[in-house]
Structure 1
Amino acid sequence: MIYEILYSNSYIQLIRKDDGFYIESFRQGYTLDEFNQVLMDFPQVKITNFLALKKAITNAPQYLIKFGDVRDRVEVEISSDHLKGYITLYVKESELVGAGLKQIISEISEALQKKGIVYGIKQDVLIMDLKPKVKILIAEGKLPVNGENSKIRMYEIKEPKPEITEDGTVNHYELNLINKVNKGDWLGERIDATPGEPGKSILGEIIPAKPGKQFPLLYDKQSVEEVYDPEKGITTLIAKKTGAVFYRQDVIYVYDCLEIEGNVSFDTGNINFDGFVNIRGSIDDNFSVEAKNDIQVLGAMGVGSVDKIYSRDGCIYIRGGIAGKNKARLYCKQDLYTKFASECTIECEETVHIGFYAINCNIKAKQVIFESAHSRIIGGNIDAEIKVIAHEVGNLAETPTNITVQGFNRKELKEKFDAINKSIEEINEQLVEFKHKIAVYAGSEKLTEQQEFDYRKITRQFQEVKETLRQLQSDRKKYLSYLRTKGDGEISISGRIHGNTTLTIKKISKRIMNDIRGPVTYYLMDNELICE
């Protein structure tokens, strides 16, 4: 057995044996602080029994008592995730210079090798930052970099909103109602998810990265196709045919769009089409156009005494205006937009937007909105459910002009609005549940046949619920606009009301005999017609 006296004075003796460190005390009068000063020269002493050490010093004399173990000169610690390695040097500071430093570096390398640390060793630390009894970061692994999710960009359909230009010479009323694309046009793209970059532990273990999620492209395979570029990792959606872009349940479609380059005339005959109709010219007198979806007439001259223009489910846009000659009839399920209207009949289940004027027209809609700051209603009958907004009504010749607002039940409207909000909240909660379920399936590396079936079913239900939410949000926007109407029905005129104009709200009428300068708003409150 090795028996080495490391230190001795008249009070104590410090001895090293094979199994550790011992102390022997001869007489009292020595302190623990003094002993600690001695230990500064013996950094490899690791105290394991402090009570024994204290007893030997304070209750001297005491025969050999073991109080410590031998430390490694280089202690290595590895973090639980194997990403960091630390060393603590139990050597004298004098050993960290000159030839001693080379020896310590050799010992460190050997200790790291024994622990299996082979990656991320900080060589600069070995040269510059070694200190005794200090925990030093000596090796650091590389964290994996998770892959990025796929990025999807799709064709955007903007909400129809008229642009009005009044420059004193030409008045323009521009609107893009039909989102038309040609065969081969871009409809969307997806940049592939990335696999990520694996990491590495200080033990040389590969730490796999979590790949990004590849989100699906939702498109109608009959009208849209995808083209993949493996070099760029981009999937592009293109139109398989010329038509109108349309979304349903987040799925992009290219609907059939009948394109008339000139006029609807004897060359084309009457049009009845199950899709969108885009007419670059006009519609000749006595001809008719019917369509399931939007109808757009882009000719600068507008239309005249057509037979009828009928959109069963969509909107109508007449860029140049309507000069109906007391014959033209127009109907649409949604909104109607036109530069002007003259001597025609318009029926619309939503809002009629007119740029500049209406002369001797019969118009029936939920709302009738005149867009221009100089708009006019001259003659005819305007019949709205919610409100009518214009600049000027009537003319100096006092042409008889009638504006009627049927009015609405605000309480019932508010109840419907609240019900829509409640439904939106419930659907949002459903969407959270659907997203959670979809994430569980999407995160699985391999699905059984039944799980694949369930995954597709849940995804389809998710899209259906999203479509319901989109429709509810659209309805909420409309109802919010209705509820901002004053009273139970509103007629708002910003400029002037001429004589021989009759305003009616919920069967309560007011005959205007003399000009009234605006702005003025009439509305019904508690069955009383109020003007402010």
Structure 2
Amino acid sequence: MIIEENHELILTDEQGKAFITLKVDGYTLKKLDQVIQEYPRLKVSNFIALKKAIAEKSVEPIEIGFWNESIELTISNDFMQASLTIRETLHHIKKHMIDIQSSIKKLLQEHHIIHGIQPFDLLSLSVGKAFIIAQGLEPQEGEPAQVRYLEPAEKKPVIREDGKADYFDMNFILEIHEGSWLGEKIPSKEGGNGFNILGEIVPGKKGKDLLLKYDPKSAYEVEEDGKIVLRSRLSGVIGEVNGMLSVKKHLIIAGDLGLETGNITFDGSIQIKGTVMAGYSVVATGDISIESLEGVNAAKLIKSTEGDVFIKGGIFGKGETMVEACKNIYIKHVNDCTLEAKGNVIIGFYAISSNISAHEVILDERRGKIIGGKTLAIQSILAAYSGNDLERKTELIVQSVDRLLLIDQMKWNAEKSVKQNLEITKLSAQVDQLEQLKNNMNTHQIAVYQQTKQKLHNMESEAKEINYELQKLKKLIQEAKISFIQITKEANAGTVIQIGSKISTLSKRKNGKFLLENGELNV
């Protein structure tokens, strides 16, 4: 079929293929381009043959490309959108407006497109560019699941208006009974339905699910009033295992730990209503709370391998007492003993002749005193006073952190975390699928479901631990730049100020925040 013929060329359509025949010598690509502009349907794909024909002045028909459809409909794979492309000149569109509109309507009918048809103006369309002719209604995502847990006691002494630390009402341990409420999950909801361009219903998306994170050895799930409720399997104290809520065993000693009890090692938390007698030791995996107002006198060892230590009445160590905590130590006062915490050491009133090691050492900034001994922190030391009028040697040391080494450790943990999260995503999807079918499962299938769920819990526990390490490393990297020693009232002569390798012994009273400025101590 001849599309155009003049004294210079013939342009034809042979079963969708485009051919050109040149009638004259000296024809140019520039002239041909002007012809092509008049036919948006023409797609020139064989430029080599075209150039050869012009160069050799060929009078034989040469295939130069193909003819596109005048109106092309494209439908997305999910049937949520349809686009039209019109390949005609504006002049042609104006001349055949009614026919084109009729063709579009017929094309939509042939493909059963009935929903979300968009209005359009043919005269404002860009020739050869697709435009949306039909748009489905996207399904809505439902409300996500909501999870909340029983909050543990806040382990922080309150500083009253008069400057005194109130350790006496400190809610250090939260006791739990068997069957107690530990948390709950309100399941996610289904979202509103949508429609595709064929008018078919597209089901709404269920909101994002969340898992209750808990230690299955100490807690269990039960459905109550449309919620998934978490309850305790045993009596004890609320705690945490690798970032997951748990209930730990809880031992209460009504009086003193001493001759009647002997030394105690316990897998759980210990609450001692009295004190730890001289020469005796207590070691627990969980928190240790010693509540006697008289404090501790020359006990040998008080150690929590996974939790905190709280001593309401303080310590008179007589050079014998060692207190260790995996997390934090909270204490009223310290005299002649050793404190070591991976977290922080928080002291209400004073520390005398003691060796203290922690991430941060914090005393009351209005009254807290550090006199004698060695206080070592990774990030900071805060107190009101250091040393005394007799210029007693008092060492305050904040360690320097190797940031490059920490960054390398952080990168290694981050790579491991990414791999674990991919596995968790896969397992989580499996648990979600099984969750939908659990009401119709046989005994074997239920066992598989429980095993998969347990595997997910274990992996999430490991991931939580790695994430905890990542956050800890991140914090150390950030704080490596701002390590300081702050004495708000009076740092007496004889106080040794050391940050990293920089050290200075005060020869007169000073106060303020001591830190490195341009690599040197600002003492």
Letter matched to residue 344 of structure 1: C
From 221, 235, 247, give the equivalent of 1:242. 235
**Residue 220 of structure 1 contacts residue 253 of structure 1 at CA under 8 Å; is this kept in 2?**
yes
1:419 equivalent in structure 2: 408
Distance in 1 (CA, whole Å) between partners of 2:252 and 2:152 is 19
Residues 468, 511 of structure 1: alpha-carbon distance in 2 compared, 3 angstrom cutoff:
closer
2:309 maps to 1:311: no
2:466 equivalent in structure 1: 468
**Residue 424 of structure 2 contacts residue 459 of structure 2 at CA under 8 Å; is this kept in 1?**
no
Distance in 1 (CA, whole Å) between partners of 2:448 and 2:114 is 36
2:281 equivalent in structure 1: 288
Distance in 2 (CA, whole Å) between partners of 1:143 and 1:364 is 58
2:178 maps to 1:183: yes
1:164 equivalent in structure 2: 159
**Residue 399 of structure 2 contacts residue 499 of structure 2 at CA under 8 Å; is this kept in 1?**
no
State the Cα distance separating 1:365 from its structure 2 match.
4.2
Distance in 2 (CA, whole Å) between partners of 1:348 and 1:203 is 66
Please list the CA deviations of residues 318-364 of structure 1 after superposition, one character each: whole Å capped at 9, or x if unmatched.
12322334443323343322121123233344432212211232334
**Residue 82 of structure 1 contacts residue 201 of structure 1 at CA under 8 Å; is this kept in 2?**
no
1:485 equivalent in structure 2: 483
Distance in 2 (CA, whole Å) between partners of 1:275 and 1:200 is 56
**Residue 114 of structure 2 contacts residue 199 of structure 2 at CA under 8 Å; is this kept in 1?**
no
Distance in 2 (CA, whole Å) between partners of 1:377 and 1:184 is 46
**Residue 301 of structure 2 contacts residue 323 of structure 2 at CA under 8 Å; is this kept in 1?**
yes
TM-score normalised per structure 2: 0.61
2:148 equivalent in structure 1: 153
Unaligned runs of 5+ in 2: 1-97, 119-135, 438-443
Distance in 1 (CA, whole Å) between partners of 2:203 and 2:480 is 56
State the Cα distance separating 1:224 from its structure 2 match.
0.9
**Residue 157 of structure 2 contacts residue 166 of structure 2 at CA under 8 Å; is this kept in 1?**
no
SS at match of 1:221: coil
From 474, 495, 507, give the equivalent of 2:489. 495
Pairing of 1:157-306 with structure 2 (within 5 A): 157=152, 160-167=155-162, 171-173=165-167, 176-194=171-189, 208-212=203-207, 215-229=210-224, 232-306=225-299
Residues 459, 262 of structure 1: alpha-carbon distance in 2 compared, 3 angstrom cutoff:
closer
Distance in 2 (CA, whole Å) between partners of 1:366 and 1:146 is 44
Letter matched to residue 248 of structure 1: V
**Residue 243 of structure 2 contacts residue 461 of structure 2 at CA under 8 Å; is this kept in 1?**
yes
Distance in 2 (CA, whole Å) between partners of 1:373 and 1:441 is 56
Distance in 2 (CA, whole Å) between partners of 1:421 and 1:367 is 21
**Residue 434 of structure 1 contacts residue 462 of structure 1 at CA under 8 Å; is this kept in 2?**
no
State the Cα distance separating 1:377 from its structure 2 match.
1.7
Pairing of 1:28-47 with structure 2 (within 5 A): none
Distance in 1 (CA, whole Å) between partners of 2:312 and 2:505 is 34
Identity of matched residues, %? 28
Residues 82, 354 of structure 1: alpha-carbon distance in 2 compared, 3 angstrom cutoff:
same
State the Cα distance separating 1:220 from its structure 2 match.
2.8
**Residue 224 of structure 1 contacts residue 239 of structure 1 at CA under 8 Å; is this kept in 2?**
yes
Letter matched to residue 373 of structure 2: N
1:329 equivalent in structure 2: 322
Distance in 1 (CA, whole Å) between partners of 2:474 and 2:138 is 48
Q: CA RMSD in A?
A: 4.6
Letter matched to residue 191 of structure 1: I
Bigger CA radius of gyration: 1
Residues 211, 352 of structure 1: alpha-carbon distance in 2 compared, 3 angstrom cutoff:
closer
Pairing of 1:390-409 with structure 2 (within 5 A): 390-396=383-389, 398=390, 400-405=392-397, 408-409=399-400
Distance in 1 (CA, whole Å) between partners of 2:256 and 2:392 is 35
Letter matched to residue 393 of structure 2: T
Distance in 2 (CA, whole Å) between partners of 1:509 and 1:212 is 58
State the Cα distance separating 1:273 from its structure 2 match.
1.0
Distance in 1 (CA, whole Å) between partners of 2:462 and 2:336 is 43
Letter matched to residue 246 of structure 1: G
SS at match of 1:518: strand
1:361 equivalent in structure 2: 354
State the Cα distance separating 1:281 from its structure 2 match.
3.6
Residues 336, 463 of structure 1: alpha-carbon distance in 2 compared, 3 angstrom cutoff:
closer
State the Cα distance separating 1:241 from its structure 2 match.
1.7
TM-score normalised per structure 1: 0.60
Letter matched to residue 416 of structure 1: L
Distance in 1 (CA, whole Å) between partners of 2:499 and 2:209 is 57
SS at match of 2:333: strand
State the Cα distance separating 1:473 from its structure 2 match.
0.8
Pairing of 1:442-461 with structure 2 (within 5 A): 460-461=458-459
Deviates more, 1:309-318 or 1:364-373: 364-373
Distance in 1 (CA, whole Å) between partners of 2:480 and 2:198 is 68
Please list the CA deviations of residues 365-407 of structure 1 after superposition, one character each: whole Å capped at 9, or x if unmatched.
45433233221122x31241545332212233x16232152x6
Distance in 2 (CA, whole Å) between partners of 1:243 and 1:512 is 50
From 362, 376, 389, give the equivalent of 1:384. 376
**Residue 143 of structure 2 contacts residue 206 of structure 2 at CA under 8 Å; is this kept in 1?**
yes
State the Cα distance separating 1:296 from its structure 2 match.
1.9
State the Cα distance separating 1:434 from its structure 2 match.
4.3
State the Cα distance separating 1:312 from its structure 2 match.
3.0
Aligned residue pairs total 396
**Residue 172 of structure 1 contacts residue 339 of structure 1 at CA under 8 Å; is this kept in 2?**
no
**Residue 438 of structure 1 contacts residue 459 of structure 1 at CA under 8 Å; is this kept in 2?**
no
Please list the CA deviations of residues 125-168 of structure 1 after superposition, one character each: whole Å capped at 9, or x if unmatched.
xxxxxxxxxxxxxxxx9997665443222234577544322526
SS at match of 1:269: coil
